[in-house]
Chains A and B, each alone.
Chain A
């Protein structure tokens, strides 16, 4: 059901992004590039790779970059340790829908989805979650390959005249190798645009 909703959102956003935009939104965004950091504040299954927490777990962390291809379309890429997995990279596209803007457009709120293809390693958390086994941190970059699809949906605040951005999103990540499973996470992001 959730997946159907996301597919419907992607379709709606793609349709909206492709439509003629009103004149007051027609100017291309002045800052085409963005880089930032995403952390998973809640995730299932959880993991131990990322920003360490006092309880021994960690905030799964991903570095991201995006390029504003068209007014409402971005190309995105990321590198990090997604929840419950080892090191991974991903690349995707991101249609957006502006929900609100301040009078002088210095602050905007937008809805986005960011379907992406991800390739990585299973990592020690995969074996801890599946086999109750610690296999060593070397598996973070040398374990079995994982192939996954990222399906996040979120809202992003772009502020200080598009210089900074912060976001919150729900990420659903169906994985197809080494086993079929679904990883769900709530993520916070922050970045800069230039």
Chain B
């Protein structure tokens, strides 16, 4: 799927790169995404979740820049995940890159990869990136891919074919069957849009795969998809299990009293949210959620 040297991730013909508006936090790892479709097939741009054809491959590479200040310093690849669309659902597999960055070997996951990288401020980070076990894939994906939706794929861009929107570019490349119907588009949580849009975008991308009407956490009644704004499911002042002395999911105006934020900082992997392979609280995510809760008007449970 990639030309040699593999580590440069130069896609072979037919492997189309794409990106999402809001990425799932992964302990600071950056991602490169690609899609391959069987000849003659395309993705159906439905109103919300798009439909992948049988035989489609989704490829996601996890990497850390060696030095964010210097693009020539290159990247350190840690993991490449595959999702393959079958007749009755998805099959997941993962490959872990060797230290020489010459190849990746199939793995059952559930192992740690030490990574050293430097951020834009010059701060060095030594992280232990956890490659999740493939048995955990189903827990979040629930037999569906998560990024191929209008809200994640539609965004401006400059492409060699002259298109100025990713969805239009994918149509031009034959990946998408038609421009998707107009709909919700997630915004950058660290950008300049209103705080409510930024926070809801973050929650939709990082939490709603479980916390929605369809998901592992649907029984909690806490729905964090962008559309859930009704009082029954938007968890303002909603009681929940005690975490760090707090027992309300969101206490308007008080992020320090809100379990939603407490869970993002929790050290217990059963308590920590999003539940999965991350170990480091998301600095950008916790900042936007904290600011969002802080500016909320009183909800009567302060």
Which residues of chain A have a CB within 8 Å of any CB of chain B?
A: 48, 54-56, 124, 127-128, 131-139, 142
Check if A127 sits within 8 Å of B270, measured CB to CB: no
Interchain CA distance A54-B245 in the complex, whole Å: 12
Q: Which of B150-189 contact A (CB under 8 A)?
A: none
Interchain CA distance A54-B239 in the complex, whole Å: 12
Check if A54 sits within 8 Å of B268, measured CB to CB: no
Is B115 part of the contact surface with A, judged by Cβ < 8 Å?
no
Taking A56-B241, A135-B132, A135-B136 as known contacts, 9 extra A-B pairs with beta carbons closer than 8 A to each other, sorted by chain A number, are A48-B270, A54-B241, A54-B242, A55-B241, A56-B243, A124-B270, A133-B277, A135-B110, A142-B135
Interchain CA distance A128-B269 in the complex, whole Å: 6
Check if B270 sits within 8 Å of A136, measured CB to CB: no
Contact partner of A136 (CB less than 8 A), chosen from B112, B133, B267, B271, is B133
- With A55-B241, A127-B110 known to touch, is A135 a contact of B268 (CB < 8 Å)? no
Interface of B (DSSP majority class): loop
Determine the chain B residues whose CB is within 8 A of the CB of A127 once the complex forms. Answer: 110, 269
Whole-angstrom distance between the Cβ of B75 and the nearest chain A Cβ: 24
Contact partner of A134 (CB less than 8 A), chosen from B112, B138, B243, B270, is B270
Question: CB-nearest residue of chain B relative to A124?
Answer: B270
Interchain CA distance A24-B216 in the complex, whole Å: 59
Instruction: Name the residue in A55, A131, A135 with the highest tally of chain B Cβ atoms < 10 Å from its Cβ.
Output: A135
Whole-angstrom distance between the Cβ of B90 and the nearest chain A Cβ: 16
- List 3 tightest A-B contacts by C-beta distance, closest first: A134-B269, A136-B136, A128-B269
Whole-angstrom distance between the Cβ of B127 and the nearest chain A Cβ: 13
Is B76 part of the contact surface with A, judged by Cβ < 8 Å?
no
Contact partner of B139 (CB less than 8 A), chosen from A55, A132, A133, A136, is A136
Question: CB-nearest residue of chain B relative to A58?
Answer: B270
- With A54-B242, A56-B243, A124-B270 known to touch, is A131 a contact of B135 (CB < 8 Å)? no
Interchain CA distance A48-B268 in the complex, whole Å: 11
Is B211 part of the contact surface with A, judged by Cβ < 8 Å?
no
Check if B110 sits within 8 Å of A56, measured CB to CB: no
Check if B275 sits within 8 Å of A134, measured CB to CB: yes
Whole-angstrom distance between the Cβ of A56 and the nearest chain B Cβ: 5
Question: CB-nearest residue of chain A relative to B136?
Answer: A136
Question: CB-nearest residue of chain A relative to B135?
Answer: A138
Contact partner of B272 (CB less than 8 A), chosen from A48, A134, A142, is A134
Check if A56 sits within 8 Å of B271, measured CB to CB: yes
Per-residue contact bits, chain B 123-136, to A (CB 8 Å; 1 contact, 0 not) = 00000001011011
Whole-angstrom distance between the Cβ of A49 and the nearest chain B Cβ: 10
Determine the chain B residues whose CB is within 8 A of the CB of A128 once the complex forms. Answer: 268-270
- With A127-B110, A138-B135, A142-B135 known to touch, is A133 a contact of B269 (CB < 8 Å)? yes
Whole-angstrom distance between the Cβ of B96 and the nearest chain A Cβ: 16
Whole-angstrom distance between the Cβ of B276 and the nearest chain A Cβ: 7
Whole-angstrom distance between the Cβ of A145 and the nearest chain B Cβ: 15
Is B279 part of the contact surface with A, judged by Cβ < 8 Å?
yes
